[in-house]
């Protein structure tokens, strides 16, 4: 009995210690950095709110953040919609094919993000598949360079890279709806469109919203896609943070910018958490 209690205690302490060392302390250290300053390329360890004042007052940061949020929202909506369409299609297949398709959807998640971005460059570039195709069907004579190095390319790359999250989470939600529930709705006279809007969508939404959360949080902080396919317009908030750390060597300002992003992401995660656990899923009374 005592030995058992002892081993449980050791497990608990080590898990908390690991979380503390690997997650909480780095984040705390990072937050503290946001209150430091920089002079002549070296960090000044004196606490001040200067960085936060700069982030809040400089319109450039606000503009870039707004643009980045808009892209993230657009990407999330696109992923949500295409994710639903694909997941509904996959869920309708017979079991063997269904799980093969879901596995195929999951494969890109195991690949490097950089490879996916470069494959997108190959697709959209001057000699890429899209231009070749448009020339082949005779819509254009010369390859166009408008597909790459702009924000649309960033959006497409992000959707391409993140849509598996939407498909997988939506699929999980759809698969959990019992046939009997759909049959009950049909039995009461409902057609396919009504069944989708009143039964399938609300029942799978708590699961699908987790996918939206993934796509939003991952795209709002992304700096690789804008860097590699975004061109001159592709200055996003992620790139801004990256440049503070990698180019300007202004770590304190970078930390302050990151904190804003972190608070935003946590807010989105909290909202998604609420939406993914609606009242009807809970057991306690109204």
Partner 1 sequence: MDLILDELGKCYGSTWVLKQINLTIGSGAFFSLLGASGSGKTTLLKAIAGIEMPDQGRIVHGETDITSHPMEKRPFNTVFQGYALFPHMTVFDNVAFGLRVKGQRGGVLKKSVTEMIDRVGLSDRIHAFPAQLSGGQKQRVAIARVLVCEPRVILLDEPLSALDAVLRGQMQRFLKELHRDLGLTFVFVTHDQDEAISLSDRICILNQGRIEQVDTPDALYHAPRTTFVAEFIGLNNLFQMDDNGDTEFGRAATPHSGSNVLTIRPESVQVGETHARLKSRAVLTDRRFHGDNTLLTFRTATGREILVRRPGRGDTIELGEETILGFPDCDCTVIPGAGPR
Q: Are 274 and 202 in contact (CB under 8 A)?
A: no
**Lookup result for tokens 């440049």:** 243
3-state helix, strand, coil in the chain (%, to 5): 75, 0, 20
SS (H, E, C) 120-132: HHHHHCCCCHHHH
The pair of structure tokens assigned to 163 is 């849509």
Q: Which 133-162 positions form the footprint of partner 1 (CB under 8 A)?
A: none
By CB under 8 A, tell whether 191 contacts partner 1: yes
Instruction: Identify the residue among 188, 193, 247, 263 touching partner 1 (CB under 8 A).
Output: 188
Burial (0-12, 13-18, 19+ Cβ within 10 Å), 274: exposed
Q: Which stretch binds partner 1 (CB under 8 A): 92-100, 117-125, 128-136, 194-202?
A: 194-202
By CB under 8 A, tell whether 233 contacts partner 1: no
Minimum gap (Å) between residue 16 Cβ and partner 1: 33
By CB under 8 A, tell whether 180 contacts partner 1: yes
Question: How far, in Å, CA of 150 to CA of 154, rounded?
Answer: 7
By CB under 8 A, tell whether 94 contacts partner 1: no
Nearer to partner 1, 94 or 279 (CB): 279
The pair of structure tokens assigned to 86 is 């694909």
Minimum gap (Å) between residue 197 Cβ and partner 1: 12
Instruction: Identify the residue among 26, 202, 246, 273 touching partner 1 (CB under 8 A).
Output: 202
Q: Which parts of this chain interact with partner 1 (CB under 8 A)?
A: 178, 180-181, 183-191, 194, 198-199, 202-203, 278-286
């Amino acid at each position: 009995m005592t030995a058992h209690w002892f081993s449980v205690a050791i497990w608990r302490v080590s898990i908390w210690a690991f979380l503390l060392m690997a997650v909480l302390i780095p984040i705390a250290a990072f937050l503290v950095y946001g209150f430091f300053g920089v002079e002549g390329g070296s960090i000044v360890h004196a606490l001040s709110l200067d960085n936060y004042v700069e982030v809040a007052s400089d319109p450039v940061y606000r503009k870039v953040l707004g643009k980045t949020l808009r892209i993230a929202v657009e990407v999330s909506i696109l992923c949500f919609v295409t994710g639903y369409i694909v997941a509904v299609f996959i869920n309708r297949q017979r079991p063997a094919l269904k799980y093969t398709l879901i596995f195929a959807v999951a494969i890109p998640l195991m690949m490097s993000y950089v490879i996916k971005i470069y494959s997108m460059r190959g697709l959209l570039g001057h000699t890429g598949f899209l231009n070749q195709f448009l020339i082949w069907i005779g819509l254009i004579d010369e390859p166009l360079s408008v597909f790459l190095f702009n924000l649309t390319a960033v959006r497409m790359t992000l959707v391409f890279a993140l849509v598996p999250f939407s498909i997988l989470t939506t699929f999980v939600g759809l698969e959990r709806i019992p046939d009997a529930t759909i049959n009950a709705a049909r039995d009461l006279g409902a057609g396919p469109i009504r069944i989708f809007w009143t039964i399938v969508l609300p029942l799978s939404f708590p699961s699908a919203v987790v996918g939206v959360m993934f796509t939003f949080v991952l795209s709002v902080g992304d700096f690789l896609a804008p860097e590699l396919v975004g061109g001159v317009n592709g200055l996003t908030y992620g790139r801004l943070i990256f440049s503070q750390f990698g180019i300007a060597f202004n770590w304190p300002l970078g930390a302050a910018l990151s904190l804003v992003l972190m608070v935003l992401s946590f807010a989105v995660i909290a909202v998604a958490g609420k939406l993914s656990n609606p009242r009807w899923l809970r057991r306690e009374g109204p």
